[in-house]
């Protein structure tokens, strides 16, 4: 076997590296699919159930100041936000399924339009909630700022994804749609990140559980609202133009991230979501 043939067939070959990166990405998506499907069921069972019963005060078991008697606009913003949360979570997962894009293009297009619209509505309602109900957001001023930045990123990605879809520039559209999905997933990532940390330590470490502030929460806001977008850019560039080494390193990072996320999903499911329903 020639040296070139050995290079083409070995674990450091471009073909193997590309397959490893694709496999890592599938593992990441499977983890996200599982976690966000469970999160959506929790939203439906807890928030939809409370809304159908007219028991809005139950929101306060989970969201401090989630429902305030007499504050009509604020309550509408909160209720709208949580009602759309399950729709946007499942809608985003549908958009990423290749089979939907290939076999049901009309569903992909209409689901995408609804997804963009809901993303815009949730960003605006979320900003209103941050401004009017500061107790809703953990992490103090830094957490508020991180969420506002996240909302701005969601608005930008939503507009750009829609614009490129309308122009039928689908390569650019898919990149912006992925950015939108990651940005929209920030709140979910925060929750599983928190539960992964608590599951690892077994107790609040690095933050005050009463005031819900501290260095860990500052780091978590950065890691869940900003860093994932940077990580996505690394993945996209490695997939498009990376060397075999770059692809293998990125695949390792994606695989490690998937393991951490899976731990957070399991901790959130059994430690936070299931006990509340």
Q: What is the pLDDT of residues 220-257, one digit of tens each?
A: 988 888 889 999 999 999 999 889 999 999 999 999 99
Q: Where residue 7 falls among pLDDT bands split at 50, 70, 90? A: very low
Q: Is the pTM of this model over 0.85?
A: yes
| CA-atom Rg of the chain in angstroms | 20
Within a domain: 35: yes
Range of the domain at 222: 23-276
Within a domain: 163: yes
Long-range contact list for 67-76, CB < 8 A, 24+ apart? 68/133, 73/128, 73/132, 74/128, 74/129, 74/132, 74/133
Predicted confidence (pLDDT) per residue in 89-148, tens digit: 999 999 988 888 889 999 999 999 999 999 999 999 888 888 887 776 666 788 888 889
For residue 41, what pLDDT is reported?
A: 92
C-alpha distances out from residue 112 to 27, 90, 256, Å: 23, 11, 30
Within a domain: 106: yes
Within a domain: 16: no
Query: Would you tell me the crossing angle of helices 140-166 and 105-132 to the nearest 10 degrees?
Result: 150
Within a domain: 12: no
Q: How many H helices and E strands in the chain?
A: 13, 0
For residue 63, what pLDDT is reported?
A: 78
Contact 273, 38 (CB under 8 A): yes
For all residues of the chain together, what is the average pLDDT? 88
Within a domain: 31: yes
- The count of domains in the chain is 1
């Amino acid at each position: 076997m020639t040296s070139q043939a050995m290079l083409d067939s070995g674990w450091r070959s471009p073909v193997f590296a590309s397959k490893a990166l694709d496999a890592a990405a599938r593992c990441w998506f499977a983890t996200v699919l599982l976690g966000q499907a469970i999160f959506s069921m929790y939203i439906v069972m807890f928030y939809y159930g409370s809304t159908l019963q007219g028991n809005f005060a139950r929101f306060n078991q989970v969201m401090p100041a989630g429902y305030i008697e007499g504050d009509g606009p604020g309550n509408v913003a909160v209720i709208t936000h949580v009602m759309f949360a399950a729709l946007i979570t499942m809608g985003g997962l549908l958009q990423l399924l290749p089979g939907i894009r290939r076999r049901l293009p009309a569903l992909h297009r209409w689901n995408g339009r609804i997804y963009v619209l809901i993303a815009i509505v949730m960003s605006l309602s979320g900003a209103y909630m941050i401004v009017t109900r500061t107790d809703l957001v953990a992490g103090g001023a830094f957490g508020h700022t991180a969420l506002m930045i996240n909302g701005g990123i969601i608005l930008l990605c939503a507009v750009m994804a829609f614009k490129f879809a309308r122009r039928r520039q689908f390569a650019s559209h898919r990149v912006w749609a992925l950015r939108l999905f990651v940005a929209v997933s920030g709140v979910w990532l925060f929750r599983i990140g928190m539960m992964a940390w608590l599951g690892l330590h077994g107790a609040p470490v690095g933050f005050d559980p009463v005031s819900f502030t501290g260095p860990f929460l500052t780091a978590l806001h950065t890691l869940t609202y900003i860093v994932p977008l940077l990580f996505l850019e690394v993945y996209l560039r490695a997939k498009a133009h990376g060397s075999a080494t770059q692809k293998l390193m990125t695949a390792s990072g994606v695989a490690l991230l998937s393991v951490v996320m899976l731990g957070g999903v399991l901790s959130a499911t059994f430690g936070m979501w299931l006990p509340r329903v």
